[in-house]
Structure 1
């Protein structure tokens, strides 16, 4: 190969790469950096099937990791700088510019991998690999505002790198270049090098920045040799390694014979790194942090449960608030599923009126982030259902803090009710005065009999903040009870006493039997989603 050559960045889509001037500048920095590489050490790494990008990585030459050119050009740079004929031979052996699978990165830094169909995929450039990822993102997600790139690698990569580093340190520790530069210390990991090489191209292609984001792009690499019985034995015997820098090895050296790592000295005669015939499997997955859409719901029917209620494959009630809201919001967000959360709950036969009960719909892995206009459409669609069982208002997108506020409100806020009550005798003015005069009445409630099958048997102290009685014309034993209570109070039991498990109760306060015939929730006071 001639000493003179022309460096031409090869990029599948010029819009993905940095500008020509930027690439040229990086190439010049790369050329200058490799001038000082020790030729014998480079030759040693090439002999042991270490790819060109890992060579640059081991010598902390970052330009060689993410510069947007093919491996052939990178090898030619090394050849010119080190004048190694071995590099020319290496390049001549590469079919169509492809190298053998790297014994350290197992193809990761060569952008070679096997997909889920066991098909071999090979990309020459970081930009091409990033483009493949970006196209997959765009197929499933129409709107993202940023992304986080996550990479998971097999431990075999760390182990093989430790073997190589140990061998190189042992062999070249006495060399001047090694002592002057403290070579192979604090090297960049394969994981970080991969991120460094593709992040910029991903940002350009997706049109958003990489940051701490709700949207995650995850590359999961696995290698069959990493899970074999032979390799597991090697891992167990490698636990005595002493780490230094990124991976370790200060005083201990390891050798690899027949793919089993053992403690001991390393020499040219017994150093043997297992050949890697195929690159890793790579699975590309995406995940979006949950989108929370909150509001208040009104339940207008006494035959609708708050959540799905199915016993022995038989549905209880006409429907559920959860389904009526969630099934209409989910398609508009194109998510994988949803979870329904509310600030407390009411029984199936209790209506939720007045200001409504705060709720959250947690949309999982939403591919479409709703706008204010689409939120209004959701509200209109739910309120326009012919069944007219449930209505919603004040829908809005909330951050994850909405969940914390919801749980806080469920336990600590006040709720107002209206109940139709029957008592076993005629009501009089003294009864009205007795109940209306009670303020912040402390009530001790044992877990009600009707929910003992699903709730722990506990004693709960709750507060009835105030009560008012409204007479019903033409009836002496029926009245409307309006009351404000601490969240979590069992209202039905407060009226009839639950066989003495709730005390005091309306029945005990009036000295007669009391039953609740109908109950409505009229207000749930919370800081979140107030009108």
Structure 2
């Protein structure tokens, strides 16, 4: 069946080539266009592209190519290296690699094998593929110059009018058409919308074409998207307008020497997000890495403990740590923990549910047990938005060890417990004015209660439930009047906070307990 299909495709190729106008094909061959570009310009594409090695031979036989030089566009188009003057070798699978070595793969399957090896060495595991191609603008400009030349010579012929009506295929789409199938076979996946991307970036050192008066040709710089496949430029629209002047055509010149494009192949995956909750038991561990004047603040950070543990599991390049709010370095995070997302950049593999459970155990067993995590799981790309939306509505519960300048009385307990949804105005605290804007924020203390401590009349535990973003330390001592009312103003005496713990973070999102 495979041989039969190949024979049918070769017969189709022969029919397509025989249908092309010989004189125009001769001109294009003289212009050093590769067979792929010739077929593109005539709107021919399909399975015939997979037989690239046969096209050139059959084309010469059918058309009986005999170069001529009566077109002003042909006089300066010498190209001794055999590189196409339009696609710069892209559709010939010729390129310059990162070592500045000329690479000539000759066919789509060999070129696809090159990409496959790069993806395999990088260790990517994927169940689908997204192929992206970027080409230099000069390729479009050269193509437009050739099409203008064809219009000058053949605009009155019927085949030219038919060509204008055919669907135009760009260099990048022709390349995708050629290599997608062999690449799918090698990788064992299907192409389409995918988190795994193979990006081919072609660049050229060649400058834009010059007209006779020395001005750059900027035609074709604006594009309009037509359908899913075609890109039609302003110059192509210009080709269809019979009343336009042809005088400019004589001023175009293709480059005298064509150099192959440099190619960069980048295999990458879109970020994945690992969500969970963390608990922090040390008063000397910051949430994120904290360095001031090259000196570390604290003995570690939640970000580093969690990130450096999970990153190797996903075989990613780097990570970013996002949390639903933050606590000061000297504040413990207890209770159900604080929701967080770990963004893994360019992951090579997606961790399983079992591997994440094992990672929880590993982190929670680290020496010192400064930090623990729970409920680790992979969340979708909307996780960041959901966490931020949930953060705005969350409530936080605290337990604070407080000192009062007088003896604590029973009426103080009644006064505090009776306050519900207490509104405060908080100006930016003195301790953070050096890094935050001086603003006034309205916050709410939803509820409070006092727990006496046996053997002491001036120390007690204060339990609070507050709106997200409330400065608790400043609410207790007043911050020189910058927070009002404060616990001190309510009790009518001086109060100081000695220790503070977050005991719960309640929020309605995907990380809810």
Q: Compute the TM-score of the two structures, normalised by the length of structure 2.
A: 0.90
Aligned counterpart, 1:364:
345
Moved more, 53-62 or 181-190: 181-190
| Matching of residue 145 in structure 1 with residue 127 in structure 2 | yes
| Matching of residue 46 in structure 1 with residue 37 in structure 2 | no
Distance 2:4 2:447 in 1: 76
| Matching of residue 313 in structure 1 with residue 294 in structure 2 | yes
Distance 2:501 2:2 in 1: 67
Distance 1:250 1:149 in 2: 26
Say which of 218, 224, 239 aligns to 1:238.
218
CA contact (8 A) 1:112 1:123 kept: yes
Q: Displacement of 1:214 after TM fit?
A: 1.8
Distance 1:200 1:235 in 2: 42
Aligned counterpart, 1:60:
43
| Matching of residue 323 in structure 1 with residue 309 in structure 2 | no
Distance 2:165 2:433 in 1: 66
Structure 1 residues 129 and 234: alpha-carbon distance in aligned structure 2, compared to 1, 3 A threshold: farther
Q: Displacement of 1:27 after TM fit?
A: 2.4
Q: Displacement of 1:315 after TM fit?
A: 1.1
Distance 2:208 2:329 in 1: 52
CA contact (8 A) 1:167 1:266 kept: yes
Say which of 383, 400, 406 aligns to 1:425.
406
Aligned counterpart, 2:55:
74
Q: Displacement of 1:99 after TM fit?
A: 7.4
| Matching of residue 107 in structure 1 with residue 89 in structure 2 | yes
Aligned counterpart, 1:3:
none
Distance 1:432 1:469 in 2: 6
Question: What SS does structure 2 have at the residue aligned with 1:67?
Answer: helix
Structure 1 residues 217 and 475: alpha-carbon distance in aligned structure 2, compared to 1, 3 A threshold: same
Distance 1:358 1:468 in 2: 26
Structure 1 residues 518 and 497: alpha-carbon distance in aligned structure 2, compared to 1, 3 A threshold: same
Aligned counterpart, 2:316:
335
| Matching of residue 522 in structure 1 with residue 493 in structure 2 | no
Question: What SS does structure 2 have at the residue aligned with 1:236?
Answer: coil
Q: Displacement of 1:463 after TM fit?
A: 1.0
Aligned counterpart, 1:209:
190
Structure 1 residues 240 and 482: alpha-carbon distance in aligned structure 2, compared to 1, 3 A threshold: closer
Aligned counterpart, 2:181:
200
Residues 459-504 of structure 1, C-alpha deviations (whole Å, 9 max, x = no match): 1111111111111111111111111111111111111111111111
| Matching of residue 176 in structure 1 with residue 176 in structure 2 | no
Question: What SS does structure 2 have at the residue aligned with 1:54?
Answer: helix
Question: What SS does structure 1 have at the residue aligned with 2:5?
Answer: helix
Aligned counterpart, 1:285:
266
In structure 2, runs of 5+ residues without a counterpart are: 69-79, 225-230, 240-244
CA contact (8 A) 1:26 1:63 kept: no
Say which of 470, 476, 481 aligns to 2:457.
476
| Matching of residue 248 in structure 1 with residue 234 in structure 2 | yes
Moved more, 363-372 or 320-329: 363-372
Structure 1 residues 276 and 376: alpha-carbon distance in aligned structure 2, compared to 1, 3 A threshold: farther
Aligned counterpart, 2:390:
409
Aligned counterpart, 1:93:
none
Say which of 343, 363, 371 aligns to 1:390.
371
Structure 1 residues 234 and 471: alpha-carbon distance in aligned structure 2, compared to 1, 3 A threshold: farther
In structure 1, runs of 5+ residues without a counterpart are: 1-17, 88-97, 254-261
Q: How many aligned residue pairs are there?
A: 489
CA contact (8 A) 1:416 1:484 kept: yes
Distance 2:222 2:202 in 1: 25
Distance 2:248 2:287 in 1: 69
Q: Displacement of 1:64 after TM fit?
A: 6.4
Distance 2:233 2:220 in 1: 13
Aligned counterpart, 1:297:
278
Residues 115-165 of structure 1, C-alpha deviations (whole Å, 9 max, x = no match): 011111111211111111011101113311222111111111011001000
Q: Displacement of 1:275 after TM fit?
A: 3.0
Distance 2:409 2:222 in 1: 86
Moved more, 296-305 or 331-340: 331-340
Say which of 5, 9, 13 aligns to 1:30.
13
RMSD: 2.5
CA contact (8 A) 1:303 1:318 kept: yes
Question: What SS does structure 1 have at the residue aligned with 2:132?
Answer: strand
Question: What SS does structure 1 have at the residue aligned with 2:461?
Answer: strand
Question: What SS does structure 1 have at the residue aligned with 2:147?
Answer: helix
Residues 190-246 of structure 1, C-alpha deviations (whole Å, 9 max, x = no match): 011111111111111111121222222111111111379x79x97734359898972
CA contact (8 A) 1:188 1:246 kept: no
CA contact (8 A) 1:65 1:197 kept: no
CA contact (8 A) 2:130 2:195 kept: yes
Structure 1 residues 265 and 308: alpha-carbon distance in aligned structure 2, compared to 1, 3 A threshold: closer
Moved more, 459-468 or 136-145: 136-145
Aligned counterpart, 1:492:
473
Say which of 416, 434, 448 aligns to 1:435.
416
| Matching of residue 223 in structure 1 with residue 204 in structure 2 | yes
Q: Displacement of 1:251 after TM fit?
A: 7.8
Q: Displacement of 1:248 after TM fit?
A: 3.3
Aligned counterpart, 1:127:
109
Distance 1:432 1:138 in 2: 67
